[in-house]
Structure 1
Amino acid sequence: MSFRCSITVNRLFAVVAFASATLFASSHSLVRAQGTAPAAEGGTVVTDATEPVVVVTLGSVNKLMQDINYLTGVVGQPQYGGIFQMMAGTFTQGVDLNQPIGIIVPLVNGTPEPIALLPTADVRTVLKRLEAQTGPADELDDGTLVIAVGANTVYIRQVGTWAAIARNRDLLALAPTDPASLFEGMGNDYDIAIRLRMQLVPTETRNMLVAQLRQGFEQAISKQDQADAEGTKAMAESSIKQIEQLIQDTDELKIGWNIDQAGKQLMFEGSFTAVAGSELAAMYGGQQAIPSQFASVIRDDAAAYYHTAMSIGPQAVEQVSASLENATGAIRAALDQSDDLSDAQRDDVEALVQRIIDLASRSVKEGKADVGALLLANQNDFQFVFGGFVADGNEAAQIVKDLAAKIQNEPKAPKFSFDVSTYKGVTMHLIEADVPQGEDELQKMFGPKLRVHVGTGAKSVFVAVGKDSESLMKNLIDSGASDQGGVRPVGQFRVQLLPILQYAQSIETNEVIAAMIDTLSRASDGGDVMVVQKSIVNGQESRMLVSEGVLQAVGAAVRQVQQQKMQNNGNF
């Protein structure tokens, strides 16, 4: 359950982005159905307009050219940066190369109407460079310029040091003379940034979107077998309610992507806030960083680690508990349809699943999530350890013991050794399984026998795999009482490619991996990917950083694959 809670914000971003896209498509359909029509040639009567619901910005032309040159150079494909620079230079004469480009989308008479904002003090010069594609611009009585872009007519007006561009002339009156305030926190801070303000969307439009989503779910369920439909209907209903809550209670969503040359990394950022006082805001307000029993997994020498330690508010507890209950029904329905199990086996599996879900539900109701996982790797071996909070570690152990008793007479069943020893209040268990002959890669990884160490404490579960992994698990147990919390993200994940690739290469050699290792060995970093989630007022923000080493390794892999293809085709 800790993992589920920590990835909620990622699912949130995806759902809200999908919802906003569907919203705009739905709004266009609604307006067409209502028969809204232009009042005059090139114009629409603007009887009602909101502030921009969506703002999209591109970094300035200079920023984009520099960043793309850097990125293509790092991945070993500088020619593409040169092509972009040449094209940008051809079509940007008259454009302020240091100002961002923007698109704002207000709702006009209930429908989204994009208005592009181009930084130029002389839009006629810009249009002159485009005449080969658009033909000469026409000028209306009020000074508005008109060009044809394919089958579409586009209206352009100079507004201060910016040019406003829209598909209807009267929309140009909505363009700001200085969009700097609209671009705050966006613009040249990112190469691409998007901000959605959901509460500017009328309630009836949001309700229509929810109705369409519900209709889609119902249609999908109706196409399933009746037994399957019964098992998934409750889960679908729960999902719909959660999506409806997101659509109705979302305040602002912002997503940005930036090529950070100074930091030698790619950066993806996202932040979400709910309406103050809403149930969704309370849910995210209940997620705060707490002291952790497993914080020692956060190590600079890790090949990878994952950690989350946060409180879970009552609203989130209720929602997760309902989801678990629905999952129980869906699993039971799936088991009922299985022809591979006898009635007795089906009953045993259902009982086991129910106990696991009950334990998970009890753990969530404790009001916190605390999980840590660590992978250490080098050229010859690896160690992996996991630790997590549970409401009852003894029950977790009993579940495994009961499972072992059920399968002890099965062919090739693993060997279970329970209550082998005790270490600082944690009972140690061991699971051993023979690695099949002929499985060369598994034999290199684990030897002839796979050994999984399991530890169960009063409120914890530990799992360790790999050479001397029991010692690593004991180190994790030792550090459990020393954490004092402090300022820490609610969730974080890091992976370093170089040690993982070196270990993979020791298991089975591969020319592509070899090329990546060679590149990373000479890079300024080992190929880092870092994801961090932090709690903010009424919401949460996430950041993913991809280091220059990762980009260089990807470029090396691409070049190696290209070289292999040329060799296979006899052209090299």
Structure 2
Amino acid sequence: MRRLFAPCRFSRSVALATALLATSAATLLPVNSLSAQEALTPGAPSDSPNAVATTTEPVVVVTIGSVNQLTQDLNYLSGALGQPQFGGMFAMMAGTFTQGVDTSQPVGILVPLVDGTPEPIALVPTSDVKTVLKRLEAQTGPADELDDGTLVVAIGANTVFIRQMGNWAVLARNRSVLDRVPADPSSVISQMGSDYDIAIRLDMQQIPAAVRDALIGQLRQGFDQAMSRQGDEAASAREYAEQSMEQLEQVISQTDDLMVGVDIDATGRRIVVDASFTAIPGTKLARVYSEQKPVPSAYSMVVRDDAAGYFHAAASISPETIETARGSIENAMKMVGTMLGQSNRLSESEINEATDVVKRLADLALSSYEEGKVDAGALLLTDAGSMKFVMGCFVADGGEAASIVKDIANKLQGRGDAPRFEFDRDTYKGVTMHLVEAEVPAKEDEVRKIFGDTVRVHIGTGEKAVYVALGDQSIDLMKEMIDGAGSPVAPSDDLARFELNLMPILQFAQSVEPNDAIASMIDALSRADDAGTLRVVSKAIDNGQRSSIVLGDGLLRAIGGAIREAQMKKMQQNNGQF
């Protein structure tokens, strides 16, 4: 698998246009820029003859893949979506406008801070930038050349300096920063560029503390102004928002690196979106992540190849996370109390009852967190005419969970539209079984086709667990989950994992109620490399977390099938015209 956050490749024209746009747009930032005359004068001073600019390492690195890579990837994507003409259009345009640019190399933009001011530097792969600029003279005018060989181009009211460095052209609006670029620019961006079609990396700690503090101050000012307009009745909402604001301030001040990369992987026939985050070692934010590790799971049986979908999470929880959760739950409870109190549809006794139920649920969630782990799993299995769903999770007190459901049943008793409850119907390996039934209204035809006239939900409560099974056909699956819970499985390196496979879901939906669009998607999926997979995985890294989203070839082709079906219907409606 390609390494995280490597930049991608773009067409030369797009690459150069991006570089020029970045350098020219940067001139709109509030800076003490050089005058036009100073810009064209070698060795022109900035503020004083002896002034030495303070320059950071790049705060932001952006990479765009090479033309060759993008052409291959976009050809694959447009073909998978059933729209190959778009890939062909890109290839044609790239071939027209990339003369003089090395189409095997990525394009990069580096943004260091010079005396606290962002100074973008664009890196364009070309061994002859003069030829490239010659073709752009109609838009930029002719380039001037300074004594040291630096080229100067006017873009509107802005000035861009360009220097040839081996097989690369380096562009910046500040002539002095060109001296800061490595002799081999590819050493900075080549890995990112080869791994991803587009990637961004933010090095937060290269931003001076004063600048970060100023950003936090502006956010705080905006927050205070927004809250001042809410009035006294929004006190609980303010407390909740205040906690969110404090967490945002913590992220800004304690973040180390943030990276995101997107790759249309033509070779692997998929799209991958990777993201990673790290905090400064030793900070509170770092402790939140450093103590988040995979733990043995009682619900790992949900991870199976024949699933239509599953979710699994098993991880330790840091004391800092528990502390944050406690504050969030307390503030959320205040908000719920305020909202219920403002309702004109509930009596005072009903408000008190609802508030009590919500509080007990919140207390159970918090006490489960305080045991220092989360462990949960959910599994969906489908086939033509059949659907099974089961879930289970760790709780601090399964008896309390059962008691809460029983209290809800008592409060609903006597209402005509209330579901029916049967408690303590049976036991299985120490888990007490309960049943909830609800009639499906006659107007809900599709729901009746799936569940029949009555929806039956089975609930199991153990000493430290809660289980749910949807429908009688899912009971055996729930028992299988209970069996597995007796022998927790050693951890993988995943903190959490979600997977959805579209083919079995579409086949089930088609068996319930046939549909042309679904039939088209099934047909497209039948020719794909996978079952229409969407996968999301989170893993722990030092002082942070890495997540990956994968859209499989089958999912893309199913989307393409739906697009083609929609296009055909539109043509039929318009007598063969789009």
TM-score (norm 1): 0.91
The residue identity in structure 2 corresponding to 1:84 is: F
- 1:327-476 matches, within 5 Å, as 327-476=332-481
Q: Matches of 1:29 and 1:560 in 2, distance apart? A: 47
Does structure 1 retain, via aligned residues, the 8 Å contact 2:391–2:469? yes
- 1 CA distance for matches of 2:460 and 2:156? 67
Q: 1:36 aligned to 2:27?
A: no
Match of 1:507?
Answer: 512
Q: 1:148 to 1:568 in 2, by over 3 A?
A: farther
For 1:422, what is the secondary structure of its paired residue? strand
After TM superposition, give the deviation of residue 225 of structure 1 in Å: 5.0
In structure 1, distance between residues paired with 2:522 and 2:73: 25
Question: Partner of 1:173: helix, strand, or coil?
Answer: helix
Q: Which residue of 1 aligns with 2:204?
A: 198
SS of structure 1 residue aligned to 2:262: strand
Q: Summarize the Cα distance change of 1:398–1:272 in structure 2 as closer, same or farther, 3 Å threshold.
A: same
**Residue 108 (structure 1) aligned with residue 114 (structure 2):** yes
Q: Is the 8 A contact 2:297 2:491 kept in 1?
A: no
Q: Which residue of 1 aligns with 2:123?
A: 117
Q: Is contact 2:499-2:536 (8 Å) kept?
A: yes
Q: How does 1:188-227 map to 2 (within 5 A)?
A: 188-224=194-230, 226-227=232-233
Matched, 1:325 2:323: no
Q: Percent identity?
A: 54
Instruction: Check the 8 A contact 2:379/2:391 in 1, yes or no.
Output: yes
**What are the residue-to-residue correspondences of 1:248-327 with 2, within 5 Å?**
248-327=253-332
State the distance in 2 between where 1:173 and 1:557 align: 53
> Could you tell me whether the CA contact under 8 Å between 1:321 and 1:364 is conserved in 2?
no
**How far did 1:317 drift?**
1.1
Q: Paired residue for 1:563, among 535, 559, 568?
A: 568
Q: Distance in 1 between matches of 2:204 and 2:220?
A: 19
1:170 aligned partner, one-letter code:
S
Q: Tell me by how many angstroms 1:113 deviates.
A: 1.5
Q: TM-score, normalised by structure 2?
A: 0.90
- Aligned residue type for 1:217: F
In the superposition, relative to structure 1, how do residues 325 and 341 fare at CA in structure 2: closer, same or farther (>3 Å)? same
Q: Which secondary structure does the structure 1 equivalent of 2:285 belong to? A: helix
Secondary structure in structure 2 of the residue aligned to 1:183: helix
Distance 2:27 2:342 in 1: 41
Letter of the 2:55 counterpart: A
Which letter maps to 1:540?
Answer: Q
Partner SS for 2:189: coil
Instruction: Please tell me whether residue 78 in structure 1 is matched to residue 74 in structure 2.
Output: no
CA deviation vs aligned residue, 1:390-435 (integer Å, no higher than 9, x gap): 1000000000100100111112110000000010010000000111
Q: State how far apart, in whole Å, the 1-side matches of 2:181 and 2:550 are.
A: 35
1:163 maps to which of 157, 165, 169:
169
Give the Cα–Cα distance (whole angstroms) in 2 for the partners of residues 220 and 404 of structure 1.
41
**Can you give the 5+ residue segments of structure 1 that lack an aligned partner in the other structure?**
1-23
CA contact (8 A) 1:114 1:166 kept: yes
Q: Report the 3-state secondary structure (helix = DSSP H, G, I; strand = E; otherwise coil) of the residue aligned with 1:412.
A: coil
For residues 44 and 360 of structure 1, the distance between their equivalents in structure 2, rounded to whole angstroms, comes to 63
Check the 8 A contact 1:58/1:188 in 2, yes or no: no
The corresponding residue for 1:90 is 96
Amino acid at match of 2:510: Q
Q: Which residue of 2 aligns with 1:11?
A: none
Aligned counterparts of 1:258 and 1:466: Cα–Cα separation in 2: 41
Listed as ranges, the gaps of 5+ residues in structure 2 are: 1-21, 47-51
1:173 equivalenced with 2:169 (yes/no) = no
Residue type at the aligned position of 2:217: A
1:91–1:126 CA contact under 8 A, matched in 2: no
Q: Could you tell me how far apart the structure 2 residues matched to 1:149 and 1:36 are? A: 18
> In the aligned structure 2, how far is the partner of 1:99 from the partner of 1:373?
44
1:160-215: per-residue Cα shift (whole Å, max 9, x none)? 22111122333322322212342264121111111111011111111111122222
Secondary structure, counterpart of 2:39 in structure 1: coil
- Equivalent residues of 1:516, 1:557 under 8 A apart: yes
Structure 1: distance between partners of 2:499 and 2:264: 19
Is the 1:154–1:166 contact (alpha carbons within 8 Å) kept by the matching residues of 2?
Answer: yes
The aligned counterpart of 1:238 is 243
CA distance in 1, matches of 2:45, 2:262: 35
Q: Residues 399 and 205 from structure 1, CA distance in 2 versus in 1: closer, same or farther, beyond 3 angstroms?
A: same
Shift of 1:222: 3.1
SS of residue in 2 equivalent to 1:206: helix
Distance 1:72 1:329 in 2: 50
* Contact 1:162–1:177 (8 Å) recurs in 2: no
- State the Cα deviation string for residues 464-495 of structure 1 (Å, max 9, x = none): 10351111111100111223314330110000
Distance in 2 (CA, whole Å) between partners of 1:433 and 1:196 is: 52
User: CA offset at residue 246 of structure 1?
Assistant: 0.8
1:485 corresponds to 2:490? yes
| CA distance 1:537–1:47, shift in 2 (3 Å) | same
Rounded Cα–Cα distance in structure 1 between residues aligned with 2:29 and 2:520: 55
The alignment yields a C-alpha RMSD, in angstroms, of: 1.9
- TM-aligned CA deviation for residue 510 of structure 1: 2.3
Could you tell me whether the CA contact under 8 Å between 1:371 and 1:387 is conserved in 2?
yes
Greater Cα offset, 532-541 or 40-49: 40-49
Relative distance call for 1:387 and 1:91 in structure 2 (3 A) is same
Deviation of residue 44 (structure 1)? 7.9
Secondary structure of 2:108's counterpart equals strand
Moved more, 503-512 or 256-265: 503-512
The amino acid of 1:375's aligned partner reads L
| Aligned residues between the structures | 543
Alpha-carbon distance in 1 for matches of 2:327, 2:430: 33
Counterpart residue number, 1:5: none
User: In the TM superposition, what is the alpha-carbon distance from 1:38 to its structure 2 partner?
Assistant: 2.0
Equivalent residue for 2:15?
Answer: none
Distance in 1 of aligned mates of 2:472 and 2:383: 12
The offset of 1:550, in angstroms, is 0.9
Maintained 8 Å contact 1:94/1:122: yes
